[in-house]
Every structure is written in structure tokens, then in C-alpha cells.
Chain A
């Protein structure tokens, strides 16, 4: 084990897979010598050259479509959206083309591509560079959706996403890029299959179901509440599609109290889906309190740092929501 950052973990996952598979290429804006807007791909251009690490024009639609077309015909592709907000410009290629390709052609083809896209607020990037749009893509059959919360998960899940035969939207968390965490030595690390949640902290009193950046925040709240004798379980779903429903149901049965937390706007957010999974299952009969959601406020992400911090679930809000459940 060694500690590396979330960004390094992603870099290692891509680089290792590219060493293994000559058919894997990587395209996106400023990913070459510049190393990507967040420095994630540093060194990859030097190692793999301009044929496999391809800087594109600023054209999100054709970046996504080009990746899909190459993947339909035999290559494997990783495409980077500089910010996940720019998926809005690529939505036809993602949702109408890549996602539906296999189904609408009766299973003739497959589109093994990964669209990597950093999301989330907290960097002062304001309305158009800070969104959490996972619910948009989770709503489209044919896409898989992954949001890792630790360096080890980022590496293991990205490797699985690259090897997957479907279009995978891999939503990275900007605020986690510089976070360090233990990751197995190169060559010993594990592939983490899509569709497996991870209990990041065991607890018996109440369950937080969450993902992405809200995982470390929920863990912090759990540690603080432990001092007050409240034992919080934190379940990190890790992949939204496919969703590990069993893990959610199991934890809900165990604690009888569930809070769903995510950064994205609450209305129409993926939290509604997570709540439904719990209450539609037999876990319903184990519940001691209504299942609650804590999402972002239904506003665009504002610029001012105080405002920005307050529109997403804070430690205080999570703590209060937990206490309300007890």
C-alpha cells in the first residue's frame, strides 16, 4: 500500500490499461502536453504519443461521437469532458447515439467507451462549471454511471469501466482530485466490479446512503457523532447504474433509519431513486422513521464562497438530519 491522490489513481488506471491494450485510445481537450485541465493525464502524452493521446478541438459533441464511433468499430476509447457540465453539449451523442446503439440495432454492436467528466462544486467555478448531473445520465438506459469517492475506488472502478463493453459515464469529483488515500502497489491493485456498493463505515443506529464527495463528508459526521454515542453506517453506492440495491436494503434493515445524501439538486436527484429502492423493498417493515433525503438546494451553484458552501449538504446539515431521524 501507498498513498496516492485520486487524480493519480485515475492516471494510473488509464495508463495501466493503455499499456495492456493497444486498442485503447484517449481523446479530449488539452489532455496531451498540457496534461488535462486538472492535471489528471500528466505524462500520458509523453508515454503513449499523439496517436493514442489525442488533443481535440473544443468540440464536445464530436469528441463524444468520435469516441462512440471508434468504439463501435473495434477500438476502445476514453473521452474526457473538461467539465461534466459540458456533457450538455454532447448529450445527443451520449444519450441518443452511444446509449441506444446496441438496443436500437438489435444487439449488432457494442460501444465500449468511457466518458470521464469531473463534476461538483466547491472550487468557485460558479454556475456552469460546478454541477452534479448524474441523474441526467442515470436516467438513460444503455449508459452506466460511476462516481468514485476514494483513490482506490477511482482506480479500481475506472479499470472496470474501461473493460466494460458499454458506454460508462465516469463522474469524477473535482474536490477529491488532490485527496490522498491508500491504493495497492502497482500490479497488485484490484479491479472493482461495477454495481457493488461499499460500506465505508459500519454502524448500527442509522444509515447514510451516499456517493462521491459526500462520502468523506458523511464519514466525518459519523466520526463526530460517534463521540456522542451515535453509531452511523455509511454506504457508498459507488455506481448509480447498475445499482447495488441489495446493499442498500441490507443496511436499511440493519439500522431501521436511513438518510440519503447527495450534492446534486434535490428535486429529480438520484436520491429519490435511492429512497424508493429502500421503501419499495421489505426493508420498509424494518423502518423506525421515514426515509429522508438531503440534497443540494434547488438553485444553480453560486460564485460567492459562503453561498457556494451553503447550497450543498454541509456537515451541520447532515448532522442535523441524522439527529432528526433518531
Chain B
């Protein structure tokens, strides 16, 4: 499969947007402009961007707490994401959800989740609806390595395999759940073998190779629509701490530095130049555009109104 220039452009732009979104969000924290917490995905951009860019609007995704790459990958509006991050009325959730609950049903994002593994059972339901209506679309659910130790993961894989539900289970394996290394939380090295116990296909991929992730997701979707669910493990690394407050005493600086060498954005950039997909100048233009998009998003968010307590009972119940 040879990706078009347009696709490369899209993948690269979304990854850079994600990176800049995270860097900017982290700065807003330091400036005291954000009051909650956030979980940054710098280093993991290729995972959500690679998977989601290959999907159609009608394919659903369920995101994680570390899912800005997933949302941007699925074409969420960066302005509304930033506004939600700042808790504004114009945010995706009217300031009620924050970035742990970002969602955009209109582009097929059924929402991020603050509960580790909490979205996995929901994905079986969304896929059941697709199966029931005989749709040619799938549901993709993201979760971390840590989440694969939750009961929700195991119940959901078993149900999906048994009912042959069109679900792509995507594990973003960054080797840590907060401070706990996978070496201390599971007795296996390759998370993808968990699929086998449920009679499901499991694959493990380099989570920093956006081109391969994009291609493999297209293949996976075809496989799933013909055969049933699949587990895709994307091995990657988070560069920053787990969340706002994390002194990172559980891992070495050398380990972090080693993974920074494998930067997914740099890797894609090198690929593009080497294969002459785009010129240096074209890449710089994309980078400038991404920077501008994030600037615009911050300006939009900062100038947006605060939500009003008068509306607090809205949306507790549907009519």
C-alpha cells in the first residue's frame, strides 16, 4: 500500500497539532490557567492519529484519558477541545467534562473516559448496534496497558469474540500504568497474546510508526468486518509524567532519552523527506499551520464565556 501525499500530509499535520496541543496545554498549567488535571500523550502521537485517520465518520471510537491524539485523529475540532480543557461554555462538553471526557458524537467519538478500562464494555454495545443494523463499520476502543488488567477488558474481549462483534481493541502500551511498569503488573511481555485466550486475533505493532499503523488499521477493519474482533497492541512511550503531578522517580532518564530518539513525528518527517513525498519547505509550512491552529484554539478558548451555574441541571437527564 502506498499512501498518497494527501494522507501523509494529514497524518503529519495531526501529529504536530497533537504535539503542540499538549505542549501548549502543559504551559497553560504552569501559567495557572487550568484547574483540573490532564494526561499528555507526547511521544504517543502516532497511535491515535494513525488509527483514527484511516477510519470513516461512521466508525466509532472510544477514547482514553490520554487521548488528544485520538480525538485529533478523528477530526475533532481543536478549538472546542481547547475550550473544554479550559472549562469553557464553548467546549465540547460545555465545560462540564474537561479533557478526561472529551467527546464529539458528530465525528464518531463516543467520548474519552476517566475510568481506566471504562470505555471497553461500551464499545461492545456500539459494535452490537453496528452488527444489528448490518453496517459496514467498526468500533475502535482505545485503552492503556494498565487497563488490560481490568475485568472490563476481559469481559469485553470474551463477549466480542463470542458474538463476533466488529470491534478493534487498541491497546496503547506505553509500558506504565502511572508508576507501575508492565513488568510488575503482568507476567507476560507481549500484551497481544491476551487475545488468543478469547479466540481472537491479536497483533503487536511499533506504536511510533504512523504509516504502518494507518495501513494496519485499514487491514484490521477489513479483517474485522469479515471475521470478528481483533486486538491491536501499539508499543510506544509517554515522554511526560503520568499527569500534572508526577516526579517520575519510577523510571530512569536514560530510558526516557532512549524513547525520545524514537520520536514518531521525527520518524515520519524523515520518511517523508527520504521518500521525497514532501519538501522541507512543505513540512515547515505544515508545522507553521499546526502552530497557528493551536494558537487560534487558545485564543478562542480564552475569549469564550464561562459556563453558568443556572444551567447546571441541563443534561443530567434527557427529555
Contact = CB atoms under 8 A, between A and B. Distances in A.
Given A105-B105, A166-B318, 13 more contacts: A57-B158, A61-B121, A66-B125, A69-B124, A72-B110, A92-B118, A92-B152, A93-B122, A103-B316, A104-B96, A109-B103, A111-B318, A165-B317
A105 B155 contact: no
Interface stretch (B38-46, B86-94, B234-242): B86-94
A102 B317 CA distance: 7
A70 B124 CA distance: 8
B147 interface: no
Contacts, number: 142
Nearest to B91: A106
Contacts of A51: 132
B85 interface: no
Nearest to B92: A106
Contacts of B123: 69
Contacts of A66: 121-122, 124-125, 128, 159
Interface residues of B, number: 46
A107 B104 CA distance: 11
A282 to B, nearest CB: 24
Given A67-B125, A92-B152, A109-B105, A102 B316 contact: yes
B124 A62 contact: yes
Chain A contact-residue range equals: 35 or more
Contact of A72 (B94, B122, B152): B122
Best-buried of A61, A93, A141 by chain B (most CB within 10 Å): A61
B47 to A, nearest CB: 22
A51 B132 CA distance: 7
Contacts of A107: 94, 314-315, 318
A69 B317 contact: no
B103 A96 contact: no
Given A57-B159, A59-B155, A59-B158, A102 B315 contact: yes
B110 A73 contact: yes
Contacts of A97: 113, 115, 118-119, 121-122
B36 interface: no
Contacts of B122: 65-66, 68-69, 72, 93, 97
B155 A62 contact: yes
Contacts of A256: none
B126 A142 contact: no
